[in-house]
Structures are given as C-alpha cells and as structure tokens.
C-alpha cells in the first residue's frame, strides 16, 4: 500500500470503488496477513503519548522568572558579606514561592493522553471474510468496520453502507444535532468536517441506525490525531502577569544598581572607607529589593483561586487569575457554552396558527400525538429521556404540557413502523387505538411530507389541501427556517387494519397535515446577560462554532453578540480559507461570528486577535477546542460537558459550564490585578522611603538606621499589610472600565507617580523627625542619648508611616473616605499585628537592647504617631488635586 494513502484527506470526494482502490481493500475487508503487514508498517491505531514533566522539573521551572533570579543573586551577595539572616529570609521566601507554584500546577499536562483514553475499546471488523471483534488499536487502513447505535467510531472511516445512520460529532464540529450520514460523493475538496456526510470520524458517537465504513485513517493520521499534533506543537503562552513581573524585575535591577553605585561613590567622596561603603551599598541594594513580592503575588493569586472556586471557576494555573482581568476578547464555542446543548421546541404551527411553545395547546391536538408516536425516545425509570436530541425534545415538549407520555404509549402501543431514512427524510409508526382502529403517525422534512398530504387541519376541521394552503404552510416553514429553527412537519391518517405492505409508497400517502415544529438549541439566558456585562466592561464576545451559518447568526443576535439589524459580521471556515494570514489580521475585527470552522481555524482566529495586541480568552468543551484553548492567553474549559482533552489544555475550568461564570472570573481577575498593583505600590513606595532616608542620611553624614532596623521594618510592616491588600474587595466600578491593554504594567494608571511621591513623603517625614529629635531634643542629655532617641523615633516613624500609608494604597486616586477605612477585616487585623510587632522592640526590656533602640516617653510617642499619621491627610490632599486635574483635563 502506498504510504501516502493515509494522508489523503479527500476520500469524501471519491466513489466507493476508488476508495477501495486507494486503500487496497475490498468489501470483504483485509486478510490477517495484510493487516499484520500494515500494522508493522504504520503501527497501532492509537495516539502518541503526551510529554509530562516531573515535579522536580516543574519546581526548577519556578526559578526562571527574572525577579526570582535577582532575589537569588541578592541572597548570595548578602551571605558573602556576612548578612546571613537577610540571605536566609530571601531564600526561604523564594523556595516557598516555588513550592506554592508547583502545588497549584501539580496536575500534569493530560490533553494528548486523554485523547488516547477516549479511543473505542473494541470494534466489529471484517477480517478473512468473517466478522470479528478486535481491539480498536489493531485496526489498519483498509479494514471494513461495522457500526451500530451505541458504538464509538474507532478510526476515520469512508462510509460504504448506511441505514438511517446518525452520528453525533459535537466533539469535533460543535454541532449539537447528530448528523444524518449518506453515501453521496462530495465535489468540494475543501468541505468542512461537518459537511462530510459520507465520513465517520474517530471518537464520534453513533446515535442511531447502522452502517459500514472502510478505514482511511488511523492513529495520528485521523482528524483527532491532527488535533493531538497541534496540541503537541503549541507552546505555552506567557501570561501578562509573568511579563509584568519580569519587566518589574528588570526595572528594579537597574534602579538598585544605580542607587548602589551612587551611594558607593558619594561615600568615598565623603572620606569613608571603601569596604564600609561597599557593605553599605549592598545593604541598601538588598533593602531596596521587595524580597517578599513574589510570595505575596503568589499568595494573592492563590486567595483569588479560592474565591473563584467557590463561584464555580476552577483555576489550574495561578497566573490565569490575573490574565482574566486583562482579557479583551472572549472567543466562545456556541454549543453547550452559549447555548443549552439541548434541542428545545420553540415554535408550533398547528390548526392554521403559528404560536410559541409556551402558548396553550389542546391536549388532543393531532400534532402532539405525532410527536409522541413517531418517536423512538426511551423514558427511563427515573424519568430521564434517552435517544436522539431532536426526538427527546418532542417528548419533553409533551411532558411540559403535563401529558403522561408513558401512559399514552402504553394505551396505544406501536405495532408497526417504517424507520427514518435519509433519502425520503421521513419516519412513520402505526399505533393500535382503543377503538380497534390504527393510527399512522408521520414526521419528517416539511417539503417531503407535504408531497404526501392531501388534507390539512384548519380551525379544528380537516380541509382539502389545495395549492393556496400549501403555499401558506411553505411560507411559514421558510419563516421559521430563517430564524435558524430546525423545522419538522407532522401528519397522520387512520386505517382499519395494519397495512400488509409496510412500504413508503403504501403507508405514507393520503396523509392529513397536522403541523410544523420549530426547534433550536436555545441560548442560555445567563449567557445573554454575561455578554451584555462583558460589553460594558469593554470585552468583545466572539462566537466560534461548527454549526451552520444561519443558526450561528441567529443565536448571536439573540445573545447580543451581533446587533439585531446588523448585516455582516459572520464568516464561514471555507470563506476564511480564502483569506491570507496578513489580510485576516487586518480584518479580524470585522467578524464576531465564525461558522463551520475546524480546529485549525480556531487557532488562527485566536492568533489573529493576539497579533492585533489583544488578550484572548477561549472557552470550549470539545476535542476540537483543545488547540485553541492552549494557544489562547487563557483557555477556559467546561467541567460538566467538557472532554478531558479540553480540560487538560485549559488554564481554568468552569464547574457549572456557565458562561456567566466567566464574567464573575473576569471581575475577580481585575480585582486580583488591582490588589497586586496595590501591594506593589505599597512595597515599592515603602522601600523607596527607606532608600531615600538612608541615601540622604549618608549624604548628610547621619547614622540614622542600622541594617537590623531595615530588616525588621521590612519583615513586620511589609508582609502582612501587603498580603491583606490582596483581600481588598473589588472597587465598585471595576466592571465599568475598559480592559487595561496588553502593554499595561503594574506602574500603569498613575501607580508609578504614586510610588515616587509617596516614597518621597515617607523619606521626608522620617528625616524630619530624626532632624527634630537631634537638633531640638525633647529631653536634655549627652549626645549619645540624644542620638539613640532620634534613631529610635526615626525607626518607629518609618515603620508606622508604612502602616498608616497602607490605608492610602486602598485606591490609587479615590479618597479613602470613598473606599472605606475598615471594610477589610483582615487588613485591619494585619495593621494592628504589625504595629504591635514594631512597638514591642521598643517597649519590652531586653529587646530594645538587641535592636539598639531606647524607650520613648509619652511626648515622643505622640510626636512619632502624629508624624506617621500625617501621611494620610497629605496623600488625601494630593489625590484630591489629581482628581480635580483629571476632571479638568
């Protein structure tokens, strides 16, 4: 067999004989010898194993961030020059951060392996002229496979025989309705998967009928295998959070090096020894690094994941929490995500009137009986409906009308039937009635059924079906069809006995037309609200589906993704194939709905938006969604209907499959970024205050703070309030703001300016208190006592300044009176605990000696606390000026 045969993806364009010729097989199948030779050449019919990373590899990958590298370097330098305590603290923080990251990401990548596990365990195959049962991994190209309802298709097949065969392919195409398979040869070589009605694809489900097909693709050469290849070749996306932290690390490194060099040079110029200044410079540099930042960011993200989990959004990768907050585009699969994934009767045309499904309908209406009788749905003991989604929708409609369907079917049992056939597009049953007569019930395609009707029901009377009446029915059918409803027609007739000739020509003639049924997989109501909220938040919702263009467009308009009167905005996969990547990147903003698309199209759409500078979230539940989920900035899988493949490729999984949960997650993501930004503002303004205090003091020749003071302040006043800021509630207008944009950093939205002016204020107030205590001492004494008092007051002032300043950081521009002083209980507790830890080193005898500080009296405490508190009104006045300037600007 030619090695290229498995690569031929256009078997749907070939006649049956040509298919057998290319597969070097026949209707009798292969011999064992042929199958053995092909197995040796191509290998088993299974997907390649996915690569997994060990926990150790994952642990070391946590150290790749630039910020972490800077911290490790600082720890080493601190250890070399004798500051072992600071070195140990930094190392502990870094390792803790890595452990938390590994713990959150402990579940290994399972997407490709999950694809493998989905394979059908067994298949019925023609071998050596007989039908045998084989493990699906033993199939090779050329095998002839038999299919029946309940089977999982074991390989890619070109169908050679069908009998009412229906296959559910939503995992590949996104369509919620099983596809009627037929043997018609297609002419279009570029036909999408959903249009290839003479093909059956690996891992799809046979829901009705039976068939036979010749294997034309196995393992990695199947459509599912193609998806596995895309998954294997798709790189992990670097999140905005990771980019921001790396950028922040680089900024800090440059700033710290500049500060250290300047301090070193100034000290030498003032006559201080080079070793003394080298140690001072390193001490300053280490003090300037917010060593707790990576751990604080990780903790804030972890707290965010816990809150999101309570609201049905399960995060698999920590940075995904923050990425959600910056999302510009949500690309969503239609079926099951934006819609109910459940066919539902929406319109009824009966008795000459078109009405909603919720309107009243006579219990003895003939259309109701046709729905129940010409139907193969099974009702289980617990009331669950089992069968084709279209037929279960009809039974559910009857149940909603409070009809005891089981009782009706028991009283008038089925005694004969003509199964559905894709050529005549009809199904008929014969029911024995209580009066001894028999009722023929028929349902099917309106145009085909009307050809067999001679009468119809109008105003509760059976009238002759003339051309004028037929025209009205066909116009109604068209009206329903353009609303993207799937339309079925029903008819009936009474006969005296069971027809001896159960052929279509005999039974399905002289019928009474009883009505039309319009069905659709309806949109989720909560999804409609979520799309609206997303739009107000500046987020664009994009529908990507394997469904037909008209259906997709109608659902999009009902959801608000498209305007009700909008023309355009919809494109099919075939049309997309005609557009180059360059042209598409300029036109991607023109489209909000993509219909009849393949997995490759989905990836292309996501990449086009990313090229346009947008942060893209992709939701999905099927195998076909996995590559795009992995390519997107954040992939969102479905927990209930989602395949293990889509979950494995996702950053976040919705436990309730509810589109509106995404909006909740976006709000949480925006809050998380805002709170990380607040923590960074708090830490860097505090560190800047410390650096400026030491820098200016060095220039003035003051010995203001020892390394132990800086270390203790960083330990007790930085960590707890910074973490507590991560628990701040979302600001009231967070979902009224536009996405911050891909280029936004932690310094955006006025944060950098706030860090600078607030750090200057902290340093200035600390230096002022030291100057006052030195040159205008409260109590007389020798120079050493005055110096100790001044040093102690500066130490406590700098620490308390940071605690009071934490209140200012609750909002960059809003007044503290608007945000609220005491809404965050954990924040309030952290301030009290940090304040107590700062004070005890002065108040408790013995500790003050260890920290080289002295006791302060009441007046000194009043001065320290007043000076520290002053940062709140000062910053409030500056914020007022900024808000006034913004309004005028």
Active site residues: 333
Let me know if 805 is exposed, middle or buried by CB neighbors in 10 A (0-12, 13-18, 19+): buried
Q: 331 pairs with which residues across the strands?
A: 542, 618
Q: How far apart, in whole angstroms, are the C-alpha atoms of residue 289 and residue 70? A: 9
Q: How far apart, in whole angstroms, are the C-alpha atoms of residue 111 and residue 429? A: 45
Q: How far apart, in whole angstroms, are the C-alpha atoms of residue 160 and residue 184? A: 10
Q: How many CB atoms lie within 10 A of CB 103?
A: 13
Q: How far apart, in whole angstroms, are the C-alpha atoms of residue 387 and residue 173? A: 20
Check if the beta carbon of residue 12 is closer than 8 Å to that of residue 199: yes
Residue 618 C-beta-side C-alpha neighbours within 13 Å? 31
Q: How far apart, in whole angstroms, are the C-alpha atoms of residue 507 and residue 282? A: 96
Residue 206 phi, psi dihedral angles, 5° rounding? -80, 120
Name the residue with tokens 């009043």: 862
Query: For every residue of 256-304, which 3-state class applies, written as one string?
Result: HHHHHHHHHHHHHHCCCCHHHHHHHHHHHHHHHCCCCHHHHHHHHHHHH
Let me know if 802 is exposed, middle or buried by CB neighbors in 10 A (0-12, 13-18, 19+): buried
Check if the beta carbon of residue 667 is closer than 8 Å to that of residue 730: yes
Q: How far apart, in whole angstroms, are the C-alpha atoms of residue 401 and residue 368? A: 10
Angstrom CA distances, 732 to 194, 296, 546, stand at 45, 24, 38
Q: How far apart, in whole angstroms, are the C-alpha atoms of residue 305 and residue 813? A: 27
Query: For every residue of 789-855, which 3-state class applies, written as one string?
Result: HHHHHHHHHHHHHHHHHHHHCCCCCCCHHHHCCCCCHHHHHHHHHHHHHHHHHHHCCCHHHHCCCCC
43 sits in the region (left: phi over 0; alpha: psi -120 to 50; else beta) called left
Q: How far apart, in whole angstroms, are the C-alpha atoms of residue 126 and residue 134? A: 10
Angstrom CA distances, 819 to 169, 638, 643, 823, stand at 52, 36, 43, 8
3-state secondary structure of 638: strand
Name the residue with tokens 């996405």: 739
465: DSSP letter: -
516: DSSP letter: E
Q: How far apart, in whole angstroms, are the C-alpha atoms of residue 94 and residue 148? A: 58
Q: How far apart, in whole angstroms, are the C-alpha atoms of residue 28 and residue 30? A: 7
Check if the beta carbon of residue 780 is closer than 8 Å to that of residue 279: no
Torsion sign, CA atoms 547, 662, 654, 64: positive
3-state secondary structure of 886: helix
Q: 595 pairs with which residues across the strands?
A: 572
Q: Measuring CA to CA, which residue among 110, 108, 109, 138 is closest to residue 122?
A: 138
136: DSSP letter: G
Please, what is the Cα angle at 422 between 418 and 425, to 5 degrees? Answer: 65
Check if the beta carbon of residue 735 is closer than 8 Å to that of residue 529: no
Q: What are the strands, taking DSSP E only, across 474-590?
A: 486-495, 511-520, 540-544, 570-572
């Amino acid at each position: 067999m030619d090695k290229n045969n498995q690569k031929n993806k256009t078997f749907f364009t070939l006649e049956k004989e040509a298919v057998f010729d290319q597969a070097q097989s026949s209707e009798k199948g292969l011999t064992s010898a042929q199958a053995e030779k092909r197995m040796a050449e191509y290998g088993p019919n299974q997907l390649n194993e996915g690569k997994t990373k060990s926990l150790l590899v994952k642990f070391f990958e946590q150290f790749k961030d630039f910020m972490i590298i800077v911290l490790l370097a600082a720890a080493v330098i601190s250890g070399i020059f004798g500051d072992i305590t600071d070195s140990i603290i930094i190392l502990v923080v870094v390792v803790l951060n890595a452990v938390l990251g590994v713990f959150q990401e402990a579940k290994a990548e399972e997407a490709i392996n999950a694809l493998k596990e989905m394979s059908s365990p067994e298949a019925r195959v023609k071998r050596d002229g007989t039908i045998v049962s084989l493990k699906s991994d033993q199939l090779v190209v050329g095998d002839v496979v038999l299919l029946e309802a309940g089977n999982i298709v074991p390989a890619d097949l070109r169908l050679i025989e069908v009998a009412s065969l229906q296959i559910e392919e939503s995992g590949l195409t996104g369509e919620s309705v099983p596809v009627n398979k037929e043997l018609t040869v297609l002419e279009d070589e570029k036909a999408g998967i959903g249009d290839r009605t003479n093909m059956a694809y690996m891992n799809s489900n046979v829901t009705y009928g039976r068939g036979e097909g010749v294997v034309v693709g196995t393992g990695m050469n199947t459509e599912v295998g193609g998806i596995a290849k895309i998954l294997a070749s798709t790189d992990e996306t670097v999140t905005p959070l990771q980019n921001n932290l790396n950028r922040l690390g680089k900024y800090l490194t440059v700033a710290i090096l500049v500060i250290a060099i300047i301090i070193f040079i100034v000290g030498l110029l003032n006559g201080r020894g080079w070793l003394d200044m080298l140690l001072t410079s390193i001490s300053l540099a280490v003090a300037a690094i917010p060593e707790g930042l990576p751990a604080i960011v990780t903790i804030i993200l972890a707290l965010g994941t816990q809150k999101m989990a309570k609201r049905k959004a399960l995060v698999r990768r920590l940075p995904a929490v923050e990425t959600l907050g910056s999302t510009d585009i949500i690309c969503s699969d239609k079926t099951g995500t934006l819609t109910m994934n459940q066919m539902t009767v929406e319109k009824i045309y009966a008795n000459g009137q078109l009405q909603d499904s919720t309107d009243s309908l006579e219990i003895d209406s003939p259309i109701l009986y046709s729905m129940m009788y010409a139907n193969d749905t099974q009702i289980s003991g617990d009331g669950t409906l089992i069968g084709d989604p279209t037929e279960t929708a009809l039974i559910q409609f009857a149940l909603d009308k409070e009809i005891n369907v089981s009782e009706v079917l028991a009283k008038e049992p089925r005694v004969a039937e003509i199964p559905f056939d894709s050529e005549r597009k009809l199904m008929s049953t014969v029911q024995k009635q209580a009066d001894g007569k028999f009722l023929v019930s028929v349902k099917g395609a309106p145009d085909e059924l009307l050809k067999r009707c001679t009468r119809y029901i109008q105003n509760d009377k059976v009238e002759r079906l003339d051309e004028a009446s037929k025209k009205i029915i066909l116009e109604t059918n068209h009206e329903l069809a353009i609303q993207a409803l799937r339309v079925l027609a029903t008819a009936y007739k009474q006969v005296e006995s069971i027809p001896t000739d159960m052929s279509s020509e005999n039974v399905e003639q002289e019928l009474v037309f009883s009505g039309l049924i319009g069905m659709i997989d309806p949109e989720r109501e909560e999804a409609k609200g979520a799309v609206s909220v997303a739009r107000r938040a500046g987020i664009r919702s994009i529908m990507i589906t394997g469904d037909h263009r008209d259906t997709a467009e109608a659902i999009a308009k009902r959801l608000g993704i498209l305007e009700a009167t909008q023309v355009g905005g919809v494109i099919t996969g075939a049309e997309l194939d005609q557009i180059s990547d360059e042209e598409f990147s300029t036109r991607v903003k023109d489209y909000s709905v993509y219909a009849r698309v393949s997995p490759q199209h989905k990836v292309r759409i996501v990449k086009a938006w990313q090229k346009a500078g947008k942060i893209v979230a992709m939701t999905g539940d099927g195998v076909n969604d996995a590559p795009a989920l992995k390519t997107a900035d954040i992939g969102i899988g479905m927990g209930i209907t989602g395949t293990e493949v889509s979950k494995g490729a996702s950053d976040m999984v919705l436990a309730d499959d509810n589109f509106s949960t995404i909006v909740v997650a976006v709000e949480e993501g925006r809050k998380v970024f805002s709170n990380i930004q607040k923590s960074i503002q708090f830490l860097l303004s505090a560190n800047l205050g410390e650096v400026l205090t030491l820098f200016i003091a060095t220039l003035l020749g003051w010995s203001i703070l020892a390394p132990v003071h800086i270390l203790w302040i960083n330990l007790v006043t930085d960590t707890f309030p910074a973490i507590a800021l991560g628990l701040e509630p979302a600001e009231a207008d967070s979902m009224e703001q536009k996405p911050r944009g891909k280029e936004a950093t932690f310094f955006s939205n006025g944060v950098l300016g706030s860090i600078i002016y607030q750090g200057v204020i902290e340093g200035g107030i600390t230096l002022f208190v030291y100057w006052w205590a030195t040159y205008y001492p409260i109590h007389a004494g020798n120079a050493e006592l005055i110096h100790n008092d001044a040093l102690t007051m500066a130490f406590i002032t700098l620490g308390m300044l940071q605690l009071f300043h934490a209140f200012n950081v609750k909002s960059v521009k809003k007044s503290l009176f608007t945000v609220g002083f005491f809404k965050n209980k954990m924040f309030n507790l952290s301030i009290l605990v940090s304040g107590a830890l700062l004070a005890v080193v002065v108040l408790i005898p013995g500790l003050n000696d260890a920290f080289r500080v002295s006791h302060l009296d009441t007046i000194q405490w009043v001065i320290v606390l007043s000076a520290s508190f002053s940062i709140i009104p000062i910053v409030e006045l500056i914020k007022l000026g900024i808000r006034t300037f913004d309004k005028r600007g």
